[in-house]
Structure 1
Amino acid sequence: MDKLDSNASKEEGFCQLSEDYKQIYLSLTYSIIFVLGLPLNGTVLWLSWCQTKRWSCATIYLVNLMVADLLYVLTLPFLIVTYSLGDRWPFGDLLCKLVRFLFYTNLYGSILLLTCISVHRFLGVCHPLRSLPYRTPRHAWQGAAATWALVVLQLLPTLAFSHTDYVDGQMICYDMTSPENFDQFFTYGVVLTLSGFVLPSMVILVCYSQMVRSLTKPRETLMGTGNAARAKSIRTILLVCGLFTLCFVPFHVTRSFYLAIRFLLSEDCQLLETASAAYKIWRPLASLSSCLNPVLYFLSGGNNRVKLLQKLRQNRVAEHPAGAKAEMPTGVQVWILPR
């Protein structure tokens, strides 16, 4: 995955980077994300599927978010095995392209879906009446479909850039691209960062600044915004800002720094090694959003936690029906029957 740095250094005669930490650090972090992300996202999808009433707009966006997370989490065993083997990729070229593609699909799909959630919440708080015709499940499905289409179009070049190669007698899977294509990848990486991260971040920032200004007004001036809606909006703002601060902003800052150093100052070995280490330390933390997005589902709506407890209680009663009947207070039954 990360042989790009060391192998490019060897071929160009510049630097040899020490990356021994990856074998333990990346294997461990990806294992933790897999163990947490799989049941959390699976639980959210199960709850949503079992929900009998019509899905709200927020639920539609969040379910699409969980699908993106789950698709990525299912690729993590391949990365765990690869780093445990010291960067050796034994799964072939097709899976190499697929794993890289799904990583960026999850990353930029999550950012755009969180942007949709933020815009939806902004319209509900700042323009509750005028936006009613647009805040419907039908428009939410259209927004989610447009998000997936845009993400796939943005990321199609990764299928060409990512590939396998043999280095020192073993197959590796490039994280970005091979050294000879790095100049083209640098241009693509800059465009992807601007369109997939900077622009959505600006939209979210504008929406939340307007929401904060609206929510801090006296309550009597907020038409149709009750305490529950205000609390839900505040939770959404805090959670999405927390996700960006922890996962997305550090990843894109370190990645952009690394790409710039590789492109402009690749002869400065110490600076290149620092940039490479920073990027590789923060990259798995960007995937941590796969574990934190389900938290957004449970905290964005007050009844989501209740639904989980009700489902678990129903399954427990179904498994032990005799025990459920025995637990009913007989005194109440005796009092009710004569009436």
Structure 2
Amino acid sequence: MDSKMNSAEFSSNTTSGDISVVCPMKPQHISISVLICLTFLVGLLLNVFSLWVFTCKTPEWTSNTVFQVHLAVSDVIICPMGPFMAVYYHTANWPFGKALCQLKIALMTFHIYSSILFLTLISIHRYVVVVCYNQDSYMNRKNFVQKLCFGVWLLVLVKGTVLAMILDTSTVNNHTLCLSIHQDQYTNSYFIANFSVLIPGLLLAFTVSVICYSLLVRSMSRLDTSHDSGQAIKKKSCKMVTVCLAIFVVCFTPMNVVCSVGLVVKKFFPSNCSLLLKLETAYYVSWILAGANCCLDPIIYCFSCQKFTKTFRISLRRIGLRLKIAQDESS
């Protein structure tokens, strides 16, 4: 009886004297899948609308607009993967094949790290424009900014492509897995990539953003607020600081922290299945928070572009008017 219970909890394979413990697959609660779908759906709608405003309603782009357009693109590319991720998390099985698994890995990498880099560049740009007030700065030149954005995409493209080529689907306990903590053959690859590239990148980007926004807030405290224009600039800048730092802290930090802890436990304490399963659930929940950055980024556009805010309000009024007309006609 004891041996049957142990085999139900986990299976052990011995190769060259090493014991590899495979914890049982645990489908996640349906609420996680529903929230992931809703988060990415709202994010898709908001960012498609944002791109429409930038491309159709903003005839003249500034260097800041260029950063925001690329940030919106980085949000859009991950949203279609929401339903696939929802199915996978709920069933603990990836039925979509190797190609879609590699596409998922690539798009997740593109989204997370391009978003982090573009938010960091927006922080630097805001610092240069408001604090340094240097119109001749390279950060105010659209050609330079476009080349900078191209460099970001090239960097994340290489990173995402390499990860997608290294990692693959695998079958564990009759479950097909894709980018899972239960894939023992990739534990070392996950561990090295996480602590040598991903975490340092996040910490560096967050540190740069905090420094830029700290200097920005200090500069705003000296601003003359006796006039309405000074009060408006200070209020808008402080709100933008709050949103950007909130995205870093709430959206990106939990996922990276949980992922790092999970990899440490998997590498050094692989037999602790109970803790690993809890960390796996926490990681999936953290993806809801990570996806929420797609919904929060458009708030930044509102604070930094009056044209965007005006178009957004007009569009909402038109939608409300159309809904009202439809209701009157149906009644």
Write the deviation string for residues 50-99 of structure 1: whole angstroms up to 9, x where unpaired.
12431122221111111111110012222233345x12322211111001
In the alignment, what sits opposite 2:190?
A: 185
Is the 2:181–2:266 contact (alpha carbons within 8 Å) kept by the matching residues of 1?
no
Partner of 2:250: 246
Matches within 5 A, 1:42-57: 42-57=48-63
TM-score, length of structure 2 as denominator length = 0.82
Q: Residue type of the partner of 2:206?
A: S
User: What is the deviation of 1:229?
Assistant: 3.4
Does residue 76 (structure 1) correspond to residue 53 (structure 2)? The answer is no
Instruction: After superposition, give the CA deviation of every residue in 1:247-304 in whole Å (9 maximum; x if it has no partner).
Output: 1111111111111111222233444344333323213321211122122222333332
Tell me how far 1:46 sits from its aligned partner. 0.9
Q: Report if aligned partners of 2:67, 2:145 keep a CA contact under 8 Å in 1.
A: yes
1:174 to 168, 179, 186: 179
Question: Contact conserved, 2:106 with 2:160, CA < 8 A, in 1?
Answer: yes
Tell me, in whole angstroms, the C-alpha distance in 2 between the residues paired with 1:211 and 1:50: 31
Q: Describe how 1:156-171 pairs up with structure 2 within 5 A.
A: 156-171=161-176
Structure 1 position 112, deviation (Å): 0.3
Matched, 1:305 2:309: yes
Partner of 1:127: 132
State which drifts further: 9-18 or 226-235. Answer: 9-18
Query: Offset of 1:147 from its aligned partner?
Result: 1.2
Return closer, same or farther for 1:138/1:180 CA change in 2, 3 Å cut-off: same
Alignment partner, residue 300 of structure 2: 296
Hey, what does 2:276 align to over in structure 1? 272
Report the alpha carbon displacement of residue 213 of structure 1 after superposing the two structures with TM.
1.7
Instruction: Please say if 1:103 is aligned against 2:77.
Output: no
User: Does residue 201 of structure 2 align to residue 216 of structure 1?
Assistant: no
Alpha-carbon distance between aligned partners in 1 of 2:49 and 2:121, rounded to the nearest angstrom: 22
User: Do the aligned partners of 1:161 and 1:185 also contact (CA within 8 Å) in 2?
Assistant: no
Q: CA deviation at 1:119?
A: 0.2
Structure 1 residue 196 displacement after superposition: 2.5
Residue pair 1:88, 1:171 contacting (<8 A) in 2 also: yes
C-alpha separation in 2, matches of 1:69 and 1:112: 13
Aligned-pair CA distance for 1:31? 1.2
Contact kept, 8 Å, 2:25 with 2:92, in 1: the verdict is: no
2:78, 2:149 → 1: CA distance? 18
For residue 5 of structure 2, what is the aligned residue in structure 1? none
Of 90, 107, 116, 2:121 maps to: 116
Distance 1:9 1:302, change over 3 A: farther
Partners of 2:244 and 2:79 lie apart in 1 by 20
CA contact (8 A) 1:116 1:143 kept: no
**SS state at 1:34 partner:** helix
User: Given residue 33 of structure 1, which amino acid in structure 2 is its aligned partner?
Assistant: T
Percent identical among aligned pairs is 27
User: Are positions 1:140 and 2:161 aligned together?
Assistant: no
> 1:233-252: per-residue Cα shift (whole Å, max 9, x none)?
22221110111121111111
Q: Find 1:40's aligned residue among 40, 46, 49.
A: 46
* Residue 45 of structure 1, CA deviation: 0.8
Question: How far did residue 313 of structure 1 move?
Answer: 6.9
Q: 1:336: which partner in 2?
A: none
**Counterpart position of 2:23:** 16
How far apart are residue 120 of structure 1 and its match?
0.1
Matches of 1:177 and 1:262, distance apart in 2: 8
Residues 73 and 215 of structure 1: is their aligned pair in 2 closer, same or farther, counting only changes over 3 Å? same
Over 3 Å counting, the alpha-carbon distance change for 1:103 and 1:67 in structure 2 is same
Per mean C-alpha deviation after superposition, the further-off stretch among 297-306 and 56-65 is 297-306
Structure 2, unaligned runs of 5 or more: 1-7, 14-18, 322-331
Does the CA contact (< 8 Å) of 2:109 and 2:159 recur in 1? no
Q: Does 1:88 align with 2:93?
A: yes
Retained in 2: the 8 A contact 1:65–1:109? Answer: yes
TM-score under structure 1 length normalisation: 0.80
**Which one has a bigger Cα radius of gyration?**
1
Superposed CA RMSD in Å reads 2.9
Deviations 1:160-196 (A, max 9, x none): 3331223344533234683123113211111222343
